[in-house]
A and B are shown apart, each in its own frame.
Chain A
């Protein structure tokens, strides 16, 4: 029993580790998403979580603040990014980089990788210099590039697209690992290869270097770092007591110059090492991690139990609430009686049911009017970068193949006036808006955009897949549909 007690006292997880695990689970409480291979799409997802956690992860229940910021910057030509900027200011001024040290799932993963017993690279002048890279990435990939493309009407969240390891790990791999998403393997190309290699390199660096991504590359940490001096919560240094002995800098695994600066993630490693007791965890005027024994310690224990109970109740509520089985769906509509030999549906090989939709130019598109012609249906949205990027391919295709019918359908999730958005363009495509989402449902469009369907002359689906298309693929599908 004594042996067990001694083992436990040596190995029990620190409070910080427990909080990291807790927040990772709370951000990703929709665990059934992994079993279903689908993301959570409820209303709570509009709320940003403080840490870096991809909102395309099947388990994510909140929005990633970095992804939301890039998308807000990308849409800033039509709507000022008040909400996301306000939320980031709020997080930065209250929690600062405590978020990085305590409430970031990517931080937790990096620390676990660094626990692998391998030789480690120590911090140095080089790592201190490299810690500036994340500020460059913040300015360039999170602000400048999305802003530049915003004025070219092409949303481009550049950090998400080219670097973010959370997106590759939680979003892409999280979705692809589910057998139901096996058809998405066809989407993978150079972009996925690049991002997978970036992820592998970052993971490798984290084994040898403490929090390599957080220290050198994370723009969210850079953003919070800019506000950390003003943050309410965090490790604070009493300059009057400090003798500048350097113990705090020596025990700190980050590239700090002094406790509480922009690189300090308030992990608290230095608090108990300071011989002058000049470092404390503070929330405003309240000391949270006082080392004083006796009454204060007892009070802290009581508070800890109370806080722990509340936190557990919140987590249990989230886990139950987000994982309850969905209410039984409406009985599927009886399949249209097939007058021809093909089954009716939206899967490849099935005949798509007839539909009609009002076009933006006032005419009507009825599918049955185009029997005998190849039909291309493209589902897009103004806020979706790859969708906007491929519109010219469809425009070129329409000019080259006047015998094919084409419909560019804006999905039901509308963030701006589509007509006004299109007024500044000259695609010359037949556009329609699926205002209530019923047509997207009929076409089998899920949560992924862009989405393209190609039908042959009999109305049979020969291609129905999300993801970007190339002019070559469109040509090949056209030849197949003819």
Chain B
């Protein structure tokens, strides 16, 4: 293995390890926050688990890892060999498009007709309005807010 490629491999490994460590640190911070918050909520049901102070108190380690990660990213990008456009391999002459079989075309046409009919029925039975109502409002649990 030549020297530049060894260096590149090392930088990539370091970046991979730091990416994992950063994710682990963030997951640990989330768990720690939650466990501390749950203990708080036992005494005060209105306690805020993800308060700004609690989040800030758990940031130093992930931030440190983020700094190291950025350093490793710069090294790994610098060690990458220059990108060259890859020539396309020799190919046989392209053929004309093949028409789909009659059976396939019929099935697709029938299903497309059914899809359009369903959309129309959905608009008439209020399904479109339902989608609009749900999309224009936020169900807090559905996006994980709680």
Contact = CB atoms under 8 A, between A and B. Distances in A.
A81 interface: yes
A107 interface: no
Given A117-B77, A157-B142, A192-B146, A84 B131 contact: yes
Given A117-B76, A236-B98, A187 B119 contact: no
Nearest to B132: A46
Interface string B52-71: 10000000000000000000
A182 B53 CA distance: 12
B39 interface: no
Interface of B: 11-13, 15-16, 19-20, 23, 26-27, 30-31, 33-34, 37-38, 41, 44-46, 48-52, 73, 76-77, 79-80, 82-85, 88-100, 104, 107-108, 111-112, 114-123, 125-146
A63 B125 contact: no
A291 B97 CA distance: 12
B30 A197 contact: yes
A94 B26 CA distance: 41
A281 to B, nearest CB: 10
B23 A116 contact: no
Interface string A442-480: 000001111000000000000000111010110111000
B134 A383 contact: yes
Contacts of A125: none
Given A75-B130, A186-B46, A447-B137, A230 B108 contact: yes
A466 to B, nearest CB: 6
B143 A48 contact: no
18 contacts: A10-B83, A10-B85, A11-B83, A48-B131, A81-B127, A86-B115, A89-B118, A116-B73, A160-B143, A161-B141, A192-B145, A194-B144, A238-B95, A238-B98, A272-B91, A276-B92, A282-B97, A467-B140
A224 to B, nearest CB: 13
Contact of B111 (A81, A93, A192, A386): A93
A83 B27 CA distance: 39
A72 B123 CA distance: 13
B103 to A, nearest CB: 11
Nearest to A10: B83
Contacts of B125: 79-80, 82-83
A230 to B, nearest CB: 5
Contacts of B84: 10
Interface string A151-195: 000000100110000011001100110000010111111111111
Interface in A273-323: 273-278, 280, 282, 284-287, 290-292
A118 interface: yes
Given A10-B82, A192-B146, A476-B44, 10 more contacts: A80-B125, A82-B125, A87-B115, A94-B112, A116-B15, A118-B15, A189-B41, A230-B104, A272-B89, A415-B130
